[in-house]
Amino acid sequence: MNRKERVEKIKKITTAWVDHITFAEWIVEEKTPEVIVDLGVDYGYSTFCFGLPQIGKIYGIDSFEGDEHTSIRDTYKFVNEKRNELEMDNITFIKGYFDDIASTWEIGIDILHIDGYHTYEAVKNDYETWGKFVKDDGVILFHDTCVFDRNFGVHRLLNEIDLPKTNFTLSHGLGVVSKDEKIIDKIKTRFLSYLDPNYI
């Protein structure tokens, strides 16, 4: 299956992440990561977007139970069938809670995408728990940074992080944080028109 065919199939997947496909491909091609971790898979759109360049190993981690923000649903069978359909053998889905998986995790991470439960306390815990596995030149992404509902605290956490960062305004927002200021500068140059002026 070629890239165009994969993209057509991925774009049919239900998602709130729709506008980030171009950036997902770009950051993977730019970083050439060995390991990508996607915390919060749902129907797999972001995971499969990271998989398009066919670079590195991708782990999609989720309880596959849904929550009050996304609704209660089990998508585990769906994402595994879709992975096989897309012929993306470099993706592994892990069913479990983030903290439980982290307790035995030992692999360095190049790109970490955090898109689980969206309260401030939950996303801060995900960042602190999983951020320690991210390599010094790694990148951390946060979805829903532009949702200002009182039950969503992602934007608050992004504001608090004292590292080089920027923020996409598309598809409910995607914050990007890295100790590597050069990659943040490249993102600002390449994607300037899609970024929040407060993060440029």
Name the least confident of 44-53, 67-76, 88-97: 67-76
Distance, CA of 56 to CA of 39 (rounded, Å): 17
Q: Which two tokens stand for residue 53?
A: 């360049």
For the four alpha carbons of 141, 143, 144 and 150, in that order, the dihedral sign comes to negative
Q: How many CB atoms lie within 10 A of CB 43?
A: 17
**What pLDDT is attached to residue 37?**
98
Place of tokens 């996304």: 70
Residue 67: which pLDDT band, with cuts at 50, 70 and 90? low
Tell me the average pLDDT across 143-154. 91
pLDDT surpasses 80 at 168: yes
**What pLDDT is attached to residue 151?**
83
Tell me the average pLDDT across 58-76. 79
Residue 74: which pLDDT band, with cuts at 50, 70 and 90? confident
Q: 85-105 pLDDT, tens per residue?
A: 999 999 999 999 999 999 999
Residues of the chain above pLDDT 90, percent: 91
Closest of 7, 112, 14, 18 to residue 54, by C-alpha: 7
Q: Work out the mean pLDDT of the chain and round it to a whole number.
A: 95
Tell me the average pLDDT across 124-153. 95
Tell me the average pLDDT across 193-198. 96
**What pLDDT is attached to residue 54?**
96
Distance, CA of 3 to CA of 40 (rounded, Å): 24
Q: What are the residues facing 175 on neighbouring strands? A: 142, 167
- All structural domains of the chain: 3-195 (3.40.50.150)
**What pLDDT is attached to residue 65?**
83
Q: Which two tokens stand for residue 40?
A: 């919060």
